[in-house]
């Protein structure tokens, strides 16, 4: 099974990135060896980093390594190192209906938040589809808000297969109920663009300040608190053991503990992980491992992608010549 994930290196990683994308690959167990043509890739995860620039790409790669990603089991590479993806994106755009792209929730959301309505932004689901389809991905772990993109990818794959024959697999979304929407400081989905994120590698003072600024209601200290609407409990559940989470829920239901004390508990859990990852990051930074990793990963990624994109291109040209 081939699992693909992607991230835009637009700045420091936050805990939504960590639990939604970084930790699942780092915890993935290698599957038993089977009779397959590309055992390294088939037993790995393919993590494509989009919109790269040198500094932020290295930073994201370093953060992935520090958070436990094993580059021998996961191919972490830059989008720009596989130019066949943009070739395939153009091919897919020739069968992509305008109506399909106009229905994209993420496009509408970004326009509502003030982003310019560019062609690149409008066509972004096509580029994402190319990222996924070119590697014959079986599964794509996504948040709840990204499920539509996988459905659009499947639609484009079906259109290509109907027109040019069986070219692409139909990938399946994988949504973890616990991490499908990780809340930010204000209870909305955690995102750097919303300014409600808590960074993994933030300094202690800033991290504490952001955790203590989590929005809560006005329930008095002595009164029971609302579990189902609590951002604190949702975030704490990502870090805590079952017993620790059960204890916090009991304290919420019983009352007598203020939100400030619960936020302090959350901060301690978050800071333990942050310190561990930061120490690992220092070691990787000293070895300059990211440059070597990107070089090897790009070769591994290109081993598969040219075959698929050229296959699609050849079938398209054959169709054009046939229909004249």
Element of type H or E holding 318:
helix 305-323
pLDDT at 275 over 70: yes
Name the catalytic one among 144, 159, 169, 189: 189
Residues 6+ apart with CB under 8 A from 103: none
Angle of CA points 281, 287, 292, to nearest 5°: 105
How would you class 3 by CB atoms within 10 Å of its CB: exposed for 0-12, middle for 13-18, buried for 19 or more?
Answer: buried
Lowest mean pLDDT of 5-19, 139-153, 189-203, name the range.
Answer: 5-19
CA torsion sign for 68, 69, 71, 72 is: positive
Of 209 and 57, the structure prediction assigns the larger pLDDT to 209
Asked if 229 and 55 count as a contact pair (C-beta separation under 8 A), the reply is no
Spatial strand order of the sheet with 172-174 comes to 74-78, 45-49, 3-7, 139-141, 172-174
**CA dist list (Å): 76 to 40, 79, 99, 261:** 13, 10, 33, 39
The answer to whether the pTM exceeds 0.85 is no
Of 13 and 256, the structure prediction assigns the larger pLDDT to 256
Catalytic-residue membership of 263: no
Of 1 and 117, the structure prediction assigns the larger pLDDT to 117
Lowest mean pLDDT of 58-62, 175-179, 184-188, 266-270, name the range.
Answer: 175-179
Angstrom distance (rounded) from CA 10 to CA 198: 15
- The predicted model gives 42-56 an average pLDDT of 49
What pLDDT, on a 0 to 100 scale, did the predictor assign at position 292?
72
Angstrom distance (rounded) from CA 279 to CA 288: 15
Closest by Cα among 248, 258, 267, 266 to 216:
258
Through-space distance between the first and last CA atoms of the chain, rounded to whole angstroms: 39
What pLDDT, on a 0 to 100 scale, did the predictor assign at position 260?
96
- The predicted model gives 230-243 an average pLDDT of 93
Per-position DSSP letters for 127-176, written without gaps between them: HHHHHHHTTT-SEEE--GGGHHHHHHHHHHHHHHHHHHSS-----EEE--
What pLDDT, on a 0 to 100 scale, did the predictor assign at position 309?
56
HSE-CB for 81 with a 13 A CA cutoff: 24
What pLDDT, on a 0 to 100 scale, did the predictor assign at position 40?
26
Confidence tier at 24 by pLDDT (50, 70, 90):
low
What pLDDT, on a 0 to 100 scale, did the predictor assign at position 39?
22
Catalytic-residue membership of 304: no
**CA dist list (Å): 149 to 125, 145, 146, 153:** 6, 9, 5, 6
Of 11 and 244, the structure prediction assigns the larger pLDDT to 244
Query: How much is the mean pLDDT over the chain?
Result: 80
Lowest mean pLDDT of 159-173, 248-262, 268-282, name the range.
Answer: 268-282
pLDDT at 46 over 70: no
Residue 183's DSSP bridge partners are 189
Residue 73, SS3? coil
pLDDT at 211 over 70: yes
How would you class 119 by CB atoms within 10 Å of its CB: exposed for 0-12, middle for 13-18, buried for 19 or more?
Answer: exposed
Confidence tier at 70 by pLDDT (50, 70, 90):
confident
Per-residue model confidence as pLDDT tens digits over 175-207: 877 777 889 999 998 888 788 999 988 889 999
Per-position DSSP letters for 177-212, written without gaps between them: TTTSS-B-TTSSBP-GGGT---BTT--HHHHHHHHH
Asked if 157 and 312 count as a contact pair (C-beta separation under 8 A), the reply is no
pLDDT at 220 over 90: yes
Catalytic-residue membership of 308: no
Name the catalytic one among 144, 169, 192, 269: 192
Name the catalytic one among 51, 110, 147, 169: 110
Asked if 252 and 233 count as a contact pair (C-beta separation under 8 A), the reply is yes
């Amino acid at each position: 099974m081939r699992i693909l994930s992607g991230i835009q290196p637009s700045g420091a990683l936050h805990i939504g990135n960590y639990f939604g994308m970084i930790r699942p690959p780092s915890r993935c167990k290698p599957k038993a060896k089977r009779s397959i043509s590309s055992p390294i890739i088939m037993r790995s995860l393919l993590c494509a980093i989009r919109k790269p620039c040198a500094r932020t790409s290295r930073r994201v790669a370093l953060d992935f390594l520090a958070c436990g990603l094993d580059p021998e089991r996961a191919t972490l590479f830059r989008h720009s190192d596989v130019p066949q993806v943009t070739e395939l994106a153009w091919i897919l755009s020739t069968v992509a209906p305008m109506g399909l792209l106009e229905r994209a929730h993420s496009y509408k959301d970004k326009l509502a938040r003030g982003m310019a309505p560019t062609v690149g932004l409008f066509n972004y689901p096509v580029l994402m589809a190319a990222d996924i389809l070119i590697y014959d991905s079986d599964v794509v772990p996504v948040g709840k808000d990204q499920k539509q993109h996988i459905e659009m990818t499947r639609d484009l794959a079906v259109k290509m297969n109907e027109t040019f024959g069986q070219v692409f697999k139909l990938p399946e979304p994988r949504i973890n109920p616990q991490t499908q929407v990780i809340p930010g400081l204000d209870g909305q989905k955690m995102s750097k663009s919303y300014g409600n994120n808590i960074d993994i590698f933030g300094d202690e003072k800033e991290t504490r300040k952001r955790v203590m600024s989590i929005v809560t209601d006005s329930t008095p200290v002595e009164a029971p608190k609302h579990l189902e609407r609590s951002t604190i409990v949702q975030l704490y559940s990502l870090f805590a053991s079952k017993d620790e989470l059960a204890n916090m829920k009991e304290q919420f239901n019983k009352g007598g503990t203020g939100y400030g004390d619960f936020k302090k508990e959350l901060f301690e859990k978050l800071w333990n992980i942050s310190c561990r990852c930061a120490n690992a990051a220092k070691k990787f930074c000293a070895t300059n491992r990211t440059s070597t990793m990107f070089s090897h990963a790009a070769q591994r990624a290109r081993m598969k992608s040219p075959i698929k994109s050229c296959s699609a291109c050849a079938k398209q040209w054959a169709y054009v010549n046939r229909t004249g």
